[in-house]
C-alpha cells in the first residue's frame, strides 16, 4: 500500500513538473510578444461627436469678443468658450456677491495654459502666428465640442501628462471629432 501511494505521488510530481515547464515556456514566449507589441502600439485616439459652431459664432460681434493675437475667429471662439464653461452663481440669495463656477475645470485650465504657451512661443519667434492660430483653433474646437460628452478617460490622459506642450499634442493629434 505504501508503495502504491509513493508511486502515485511520484507520478503526479513528474506530470506537474512537465506542465509547469510548458507554462514557463509559454509565459516566456508571451512576454517577448508583448514587448514587441508595446513598441508598435499606436497612441490612443479619443473620438467625440461634434458639430459646427458657425451659427453661434455669427451671433458674436467683434465688440463682444474683443481682440485676440490669433485673429477675430479665435477671439469669438475664446468668448464662446468663456460663456459655455463659466457661469456666475450667487453666494447667498439676496447678496450681490457672486462666484465663478467652471464646468470641467481641468479641460478649461488646460486650454488656458495652451493659449498662454502658444502666445509665448509666437512672441519668442519659435512658432509662426498662423501655425499657432491653427493649433489653438483645433484646441478650441475640441474644448467646445466635448463639453457635453463623457470625458473621464480624456481627462485622466490630460492629468497623466506633465507639460503643456504634450497636452497641446494630445488635443491636436489624439482627438478625432466626428462631424
- Global pTM? 0.74
Give pLDDT tens digits for 1-47.
767 776 666 667 766 665 555 555 555 555 455 555 555 677 889 99
- Looking at every residue in the chain, the average pLDDT score rounds to 86
The pLDDT value given to residue 28: 57
The pLDDT value given to residue 36: 52
| Cα gap 112→90, rounded to integer Å | 25
For residue 102, CA distances in Å to 9, 12, 89, 113 come to 69, 66, 10, 15
- Give CA 86 to chain center in angstroms: 20
The pLDDT value given to residue 35: 52
Region 106-122: mean pLDDT is 97
Q: What angle do CA 143, 148, 92 make, to 5 degrees?
A: 100
Region 38-67: mean pLDDT is 87
Region 123-134: mean pLDDT is 95
Helices (H), the chain: 2-40, 54-58, 62-65, 72-85, 105-124, 129-145, 152-160, 164-173
34 or 141: whose pLDDT is higher?
141
Give pLDDT tens digits for 64-93.
999 999 999 999 999 999 999 999 888 888
Give pLDDT tens digits for 152-165.
999 999 999 999 99
Amino acid at each position: 500500500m505504501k508503495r502504491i501511494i509513493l508511486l502515485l505521488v511520484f507520478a503526479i510530481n513528474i506530470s506537474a513538473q512537465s506542465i509547469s515547464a510548458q507554462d514557463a515556456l509559454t509565459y516566456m514566449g508571451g512576454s517577448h510578444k508583448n514587448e514587441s507589441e508595446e513598441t508598435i502600439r499606436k497612441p490612443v485616439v479619443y473620438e467625440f461627436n461634434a458639430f459646427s459652431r458657425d451659427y453661434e459664432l455669427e451671433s458674436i460681434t467683434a465688440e463682444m469678443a474683443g481682440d485676440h493675437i490669433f485673429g477675430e475667429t479665435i477671439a469669438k471662439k475664446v468668448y464662446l468658450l468663456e460663456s459655455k464653461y463659466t457661469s456666475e452663481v450667487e453666494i447667498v440669495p439676496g447678496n450681490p456677491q457672486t462666484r465663478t463656477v467652471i464646468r470641467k475645470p481641468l479641460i478649461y485650465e488646460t486650454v488656458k495654459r495652451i493659449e498662454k504657451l502658444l502666445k509665448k512661443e509666437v512672441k519668442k519667434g519659435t512658432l509662426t502666428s498662423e501655425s499657432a492660430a491653427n493649433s489653438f483653433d483645433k484646441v478650441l474646437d475640441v474644448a467646445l465640442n466635448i463639453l457635453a460628452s463623457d470625458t473621464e478617460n480624456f481627462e485622466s490622459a490630460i492629468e497623466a501628462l506633465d507639460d503643456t506642450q504634450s497636452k497641446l499634442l494630445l488635443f491636436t493629434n489624439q482627438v478625432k471629432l466626428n462631424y
